[in-house]
Amino acid sequence: MKCQSKPWSEFWHTPQKRQSLFLFVLLLLFGVIVTNHVTMVNKTKEQTNLADLYKTRQEELDVALAQYESLTAENARLLKLKEAAIAKVLSQEGQPELMDELKRMQVLAGLTDVTGPGLIVTLNDKPGFDVIRDSADAIVHDSDVRHVLELLKSTGAAALSVNDQRITNASYIFCIGPTILCNMQRLTPPYVIRAIGQDPQAMALSIQNDPMLSLRQTPEIGLVVMVETSPEVTCPAFAGADDLQPYINRLEVPAG
């Protein structure tokens, strides 16, 4: 006896089989819909969490900035009181001229804000720098900042600052990862170097005619170097002007 299988069309027209197939399809679609819904809910929740976290961090930053501004203002007020107290003591001791000498020494040491003719040099990484395609010379290094400072010193700069950090004999500049450390402060590009001197044009030419900087600005490398002279440039006081002890604790007075 030969067994014959039922054709597919006959199977399809069987009510029970059709119902089972429809139920399977419905359950499959339902599962897909539920999965997509859960995925969307999780993404929305994650985005909400990130938004809340960003908002919290922004509020913390705002509080920290407000506190920094408040402490900076308070520090400036206390420094003025300190200066007034020193002047009063020197006057009472009959040596008021020492206050003028102290102020002169503070200016020479970079412990006060100074303003005068000068220029502003801006160093920045190549726009759209790509770590794979571009040369390492397309980004600003600590040696570049030091090189510009030396060029400016050699052409008469009397006061210098980098990103509002006053450069003094106690200053240091070196790389820490993608940032540059100066006066115990992390700096990021662009690096804005301000210089005060009697001949801003000479300082500008020293930057514009420097072979190394000219090479780095070619299209193949793309380092950004901008120079702008100004009749009035301000270099702020050294960041550690109110606490010099860490910078002089290794000094010794030779025995007489």
Residues 206, 149 share a domain: yes
Residue 50 resides in a domain: yes
Other CB atoms closer than 10 Å to residue 221's CB: what's the count? 15
Residues 81, 27 share a domain: yes
Write the pLDDT tens digit of every residue in 109-121. 778 889 999 999 9
Residue 154 resides in a domain: yes
* Span 10-29, average pLDDT: 69
Q: In the predicted model, what is the mean pLDDT of the chain?
A: 84
Write the pLDDT tens digit of every residue in 203-217. 999 999 999 999 999
User: What is the number of residues in the chain?
Assistant: 256
* Span 9-34, average pLDDT: 71
Residues 170, 217 share a domain: yes
Please, are residues 197 and 156 in contact by the beta-carbon 8 Å criterion? Answer: yes
**237, amino acid identity:** A
From 66, 86, 106, the end of a domain falls on: 86
Lowest mean pLDDT among 2-11, 85-94, 186-195: 2-11
Residues spanned by the domain of 144: 115-235
Residue 122 resides in a domain: yes
Residue 192 has pLDDT above 90, yes or no: yes
Number of structural domains found in the chain: 2
- pLDDT of amino acid 177: 82
Q: Identify the band that residue 17 occupies on the pLDDT scale cut at 50, 70 and 90.
A: low
Residue 4 resides in a domain: no
Residues 147, 191 share a domain: yes
**What is the CATH number for 214?**
3.30.70.1880
Write the pLDDT tens digit of every residue in 120-141. 999 999 999 998 899 999 999 9
Query: Does pTM surpass 0.85?
Result: no
Q: How far apart are CA 246 and CA 240, in angstroms?
A: 9
Residue 243 resides in a domain: no
3-state secondary structure at position 64 = helix
3-state secondary structure at position 233 = strand
3-state secondary structure at position 195 = strand
Residue 60 resides in a domain: yes
Residue 1 resides in a domain: no
Write the pLDDT tens digit of every residue in 37-92. 778 877 777 777 888 888 888 888 888 889 988 887 887 788 788 878 888 888 88
- pLDDT of amino acid 243: 64
Residues 122, 79 share a domain: no
Lowest mean pLDDT among 45-54, 57-66, 98-107, 242-251: 242-251
Residues 218, 125 share a domain: yes
Residues 139, 224 share a domain: yes
- pLDDT of amino acid 18: 65
Other CB atoms closer than 10 Å to residue 53's CB: what's the count? 10
Residues 175, 223 share a domain: yes
Residues 123, 60 share a domain: no
Residue 9 resides in a domain: no
Residues 224, 129 share a domain: yes
Burial class (CB in 10 A: 0-12, 13-18, 19+), 223: buried
Provide the percentage of residues in the chain whose pLDDT is more than 70.
86
- pLDDT of amino acid 246: 61
Residues 183, 137 share a domain: yes
* Span 159-169, average pLDDT: 93
What sign does the CA torsion over 126, 131, 136, 139 have?
Answer: positive
DSSP class of residue 121?
E
Report H helices in the chain. 8-12, 15-92, 97-109, 142-154, 200-208, 211-216, 245-248
| Residue in the structure block whose two tokens are 């200066």 | 83
